């Protein structure tokens, strides 16, 4: 028997000595809760990614999305149009405000909201649209903005997977009334757990800061009913160290993706990801399509015969989840269902070696050929 090669993981958080030293310095300082590290992280994140827009750190991306909607005045009686083919945090955050998430279908090329389906989902209750820059590829910014303008709707960006992505050189996170970035360990950069919300107005940022801290701007002078959704200085210290590395990681992700594009272009049964001409893709995921009936076999063979771990994001569209099925629309979400059955994400993370990239390609080529 040939020895099984080491497993190439689907994702790999990169924590180095810079992060460890920064955490240690905060632990030694004795100032652990939200403090100067959080304030510095907000300022640095803002100038790094979102052209200096007011930016607020929270304990998770989901908190950012939920509290961002509350800060924007979304609540009972409102509808917010969301994709079904994404992580459940999107619809959850809408539903938790008391508003109704309205699922619209995606377009097949980039897995992001289909502008025509968004238009068709608008009612007199629609308050906004929450499109997702899925896998690190921006949503159809021009078309979604045109719809929002025509109907007087807000855009709430989900940039959880898209740190550094852009559309016609406009950075994601500068398009909507607010934009949420996640700092979960597998995202393009991490604070272990955490979220950042960039806001179009300083008033939204002020509301968000109140909501994350029991409604207080001044201690014990609570202005509104709020949450504890603060980021700690320990987490912010990790995030600040990551911020100095993320651009190099993004370039490596893009280089890895270019290699996979080249090598997988002509493999029968494999459809590599497409990139819109306006888009700069940051490859949170490198997601191919395969025949739905073959996907399980391909995943298993890649793992067991080639030592390549893969991911399926997301196997069940939100409108079919037990938690969210109550919001399933009358119209079929054909492309969301098809994507859920066909997508397969290959490793693209920045720690892949050339040899590992070659093993991924050789594995996909061999496994795809075995099925034909
Ligand atoms: C990760 C993610 C979230 C939630 O972020 P957390 O930091 O895990 O709360 C929301 N939307 C999308 C698309 C995500 O990938």
- pLDDT tens for 156-177 read 999 999 999 999 999 999 999 9
> What is the rounded average pLDDT of the residues 186-211?
98
Which of 219, 243, 267 terminates a domain? The answer is 243
11 found inside a domain = no
For residue 113, the number of C-alpha atoms closer than 13 Å in the C-beta half-sphere is 34
Ligand 1 pocket test, candidate residues 56, 61, 64, 197, most atoms within 8 A of CB:
61
In this structure, are residues 210 and 218 in contact, taking their beta carbons and an 8 Å threshold?
no
- Residues near ligand 1 (Cβ within 6 A): 60-62, 86-87, 89-90, 132, 158, 160-161, 182, 184, 195
Residues 218 and 264 in one domain: no
Query: Which pLDDT does position 371 carry in this prediction?
Result: 77
173 found inside a domain = yes
Which of 209, 243, 277 terminates a domain? The answer is 243
5 found inside a domain = no
In this structure, are residues 195 and 182 in contact, taking their beta carbons and an 8 Å threshold?
yes
Helix residue spans in the chain (DSSP H):
17-29, 36-49, 61-71, 89-96, 115-120, 141-151, 202-212, 233-243, 246-264, 295-306, 334-342, 354-371
How many whole angstroms from 305 Cα to the centroid of ligand 1?
Answer: 32
> What is the rounded average pLDDT of the residues 238-250?
98
- pLDDT tens for 282-325 read 999 999 999 999 999 999 999 999 999 999 999 999 999 999 99
Residues 183 and 317 in one domain: no
Query: Which pLDDT does position 365 carry in this prediction?
Result: 97
Ligand 1 pocket test, candidate residues 93, 135, 182, most atoms within 8 A of CB:
182
Query: Which pLDDT does position 369 carry in this prediction?
Result: 85
Residues 74 and 201 in one domain: yes
Query: Which pLDDT does position 199 carry in this prediction?
Result: 98
Ligand 1 pocket test, candidate residues 10, 11, 89, most atoms within 8 A of CB:
89
Please give the residue range of the domain that contains residue 302: 246-370
2 found inside a domain = no
* Ligand 1 atom 7, closest CA: 61
Residues 237 and 251 in one domain: no
Ligand 1 pocket test, candidate residues 56, 68, 86, 87, most atoms within 8 A of CB:
87
Residues 169 and 251 in one domain: no
Residues 143 and 170 in one domain: yes
DSSP tag of 271: B
- pLDDT tens for 115-167 read 999 999 999 999 999 999 999 999 999 999 999 999 999 999 999 999 999 99
Query: Which pLDDT does position 372 carry in this prediction?
Result: 65
- How many structural domains comprise the chain? 2
- pLDDT tens for 320-361 read 999 999 999 999 999 999 999 999 999 999 999 999 999 999
Query: Which pLDDT does position 293 carry in this prediction?
Result: 97
Residues 167 and 309 in one domain: no
Task: Kindly give the number of the ligand 1 atom that is closest to the alpha carbon of 183.
Answer: 7
Which of 224, 243, 262 terminates a domain? The answer is 243
Looking up residue 48, the CATH number of its domain turns out to be 3.40.640.10
39 found inside a domain = yes
In the numeric block, the tokens 């990169």 are attached to 14
Report the C-alpha gap between 56 and 68 in whole angstroms: 10
- Of 184, 180, 135, the closest CA to residue 158 belongs to 180
Report the C-alpha gap between 45 and 64 in whole angstroms: 15
Query: Which pLDDT does position 3 carry in this prediction?
Result: 55
Residues 192 and 206 in one domain: yes
Residues 34 and 163 in one domain: yes
Task: Kindly give the number of the ligand 1 atom that is closest to the alpha carbon of 194.
Answer: 7
Query: Which pLDDT does position 5 carry in this prediction?
Result: 73
How many whole angstroms from 122 Cα to the centroid of ligand 1?
Answer: 25
Task: Kindly give the number of the ligand 1 atom that is closest to the alpha carbon of 284.
Answer: 15
- Alpha carbon 190 to its chain centroid, in Å, reads 12
Q: What does pTM read for this prediction?
A: 0.97
7 found inside a domain = no
Residues 197 and 148 in one domain: yes
4 found inside a domain = no
- Alpha-carbon distance values, 254 to 35, 250, 270, 309, 353 (Å): 35, 6, 19, 19, 14
* For the chain, percent of residues with pLDDT exceeding 70: 99
295 found inside a domain = yes
* Ligand 1 atom 14, closest CA: 160
Reduce the secondary structure of 124-141 to three states and give it as a string.
CCEEEECCECHHHCCCCH
Report the C-alpha gap between 319 and 331 in whole angstroms: 11
How many whole angstroms from 85 Cα to the centroid of ligand 1?
Answer: 13
Q: What is the mean pLDDT of the chain?
A: 97
How many whole angstroms from 173 Cα to the centroid of ligand 1?
Answer: 14
In this structure, are residues 224 and 70 in contact, taking their beta carbons and an 8 Å threshold?
no
Burial of 354 (0-12, 13-18, 19+ CB in 10 A): exposed
How many whole angstroms from 10 Cα to the centroid of ligand 1?
Answer: 17
Residues 286 and 137 in one domain: no
- pLDDT tens for 1-57 read 455 679 999 999 999 999 999 999 999 999 899 999 999 999 999 999 999 999 999
By residue count, the chain amounts to 372
Residues 329 and 212 in one domain: no
Looking up residue 319, the CATH number of its domain turns out to be 3.90.1150.10
How many whole angstroms from 93 Cα to the centroid of ligand 1?
Answer: 11
Task: Kindly give the number of the ligand 1 atom that is closest to the alpha carbon of 65.
Answer: 10
Ligand 1 pocket test, candidate residues 10, 13, 62, most atoms within 8 A of CB:
62
The edge-to-edge listing of strands for the beta sheet with 79-83 is 55-58, 195-199, 178-182, 154-158, 126-129, 79-83, 100-104
């Amino acid at each position: 028997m040939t020895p099984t090669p080491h497993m190439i993981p689907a994702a790999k958080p990169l924590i180095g000595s810079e992060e460890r030293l920064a955490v240690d310095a905060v632990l030694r300082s004795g100032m652990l809760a939200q403090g100067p590290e959080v304030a510095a992280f907000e300022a640095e994140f803002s100038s790094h990614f979102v052209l200096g827009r007011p930016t607020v750190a929270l304990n998770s991306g989901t908190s950012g999305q939920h509290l961002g909607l509350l800060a924007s005045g979304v609540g009972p009686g409102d509808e917010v149009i969301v994709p079904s083919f994404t992580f459940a945090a999107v619809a959850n955050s809408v539903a938790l405000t008391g508003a109704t998430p309205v699922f619209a279908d995606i377009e097949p090329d980039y897995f992001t909201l289909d502008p025509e389906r968004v238009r068709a989902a608008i009612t007199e209750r629609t308050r906004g649209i929450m499109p997702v820059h899925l896998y690190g590829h921006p949503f159809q910014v021009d078309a979604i903005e045109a719809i929002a303008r025509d109907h007087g709707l807000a855009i709430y960006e989900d940039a959880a997977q898209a740190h550094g992505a852009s559309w016609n050189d406009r950075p994601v996170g500068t398009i909507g009334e607010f934009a949420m970035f996640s700092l979960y360990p597998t995202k393009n950069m991490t604070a272990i757990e955490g979220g950042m919300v960039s806001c179009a107005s300083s008033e939204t940022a002020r509301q968000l800061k109140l909501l994350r801290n029991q409604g207080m701007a001044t201690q014990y002078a609570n202005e509104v009913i709020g949450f504890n959704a603060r980021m700690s200085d320990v987490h912010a210290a990790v995030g600040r160290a990551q911020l100095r590395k993320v651009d190099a990681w993004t370039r490596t992700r893009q280089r890895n993706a270019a290699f996979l594009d080249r090598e997988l272009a002509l493999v029968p049964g494999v459809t590599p990801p497409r990139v819109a001409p306006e888009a700069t893709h940051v490859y949170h995921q490198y997601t191919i399509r395969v025949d739905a009936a073959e996907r399980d076999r391909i995943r298993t063979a890649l793992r067991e015969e080639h030592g390549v771990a893969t991911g399926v994001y997301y196997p069940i569209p939100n409108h079919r989840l037990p938690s969210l099925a109550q919001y399933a629309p009358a119209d079929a979400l054909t492309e969301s269902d098809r994507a859920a059955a066909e997508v397969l994400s290959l490793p693209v993370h920045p720690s892949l070696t050339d040899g590992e990239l070659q093993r991924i390609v050789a594995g996909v080529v061999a496994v795809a050929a075995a099925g034909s």
